[in-house]
Amino acid sequence: MLNKLFVNPSVGYTDGVRASGYVIAACLVIANLIMAPHPARLIAHKPPLPSLRKIMTPTFFCMTFGALLLNFGLWLPLFFLQLYSQFQGVSRNLSFYTLAIYNAGSFFGRSESLMIELEILADESLLTAIPNLLADHLYALSPFCAVTLLTIH
């Protein structure tokens, strides 16, 4: 929506951002009017908040800071994917869809562990599904760390 509005000379940048904000605000109002808490949550007792001593340990800080850096490394380049594809010579029209193409391609990696559990995949693609299998049996961040180390250039 924004790219089409920015290119249109009668709308421009400021009115395009304003129109996008109005659409988002309308969707948020509708979503807030539709939402209701689950009835079981109304009668459930909330657990007490954890003490700051347990949260502010060096181990927890290092893990949280490492997860922050890991997510920056994984997701920040996606903000520049469209610009990078234009820099590499991809047409402006196609580079607009690079993020959608990227997400469509990652569908197979996300759903691969389910397919392995259903025994649909062949043995040669088992190597690419090892991080998904490890995540089921080990800590959730261990496969992220392994794949991050493997993809460093």
- Kindly state the tokens that stand for 70: 């890991």
Same domain as 105, residue 41: no
CA–CA distance from 138 to each of 118, 132, 134, 146 (Å)?
A: 20, 10, 6, 12
Query: How many domains does the chain contain in total?
Result: 2
Same domain as 144, residue 75: yes
Give the predicted TM-score (pTM) of the model: 0.46
> Containing domain of residue 6, as a range?
1-46
Closest listed residue to residue 3, CA positions, set 18, 16, 21: 16
Say how far apart CA 144 and CA 148 lie, in whole Å.
6
Say how far apart CA 109 and CA 125 lie, in whole Å.
11
Same domain as 110, residue 127: yes
Running along the chain, 153 residues long, what does each successive block of 10 average in pLDDT?
A: 79 88 96 87 80 83 89 85 89 85 74 57 54 63 66 63
- Kindly state the tokens that stand for 96: 């607009």
- Predicted confidence at residue 124, as pLDDT, reads 47
Same domain as 69, residue 41: no
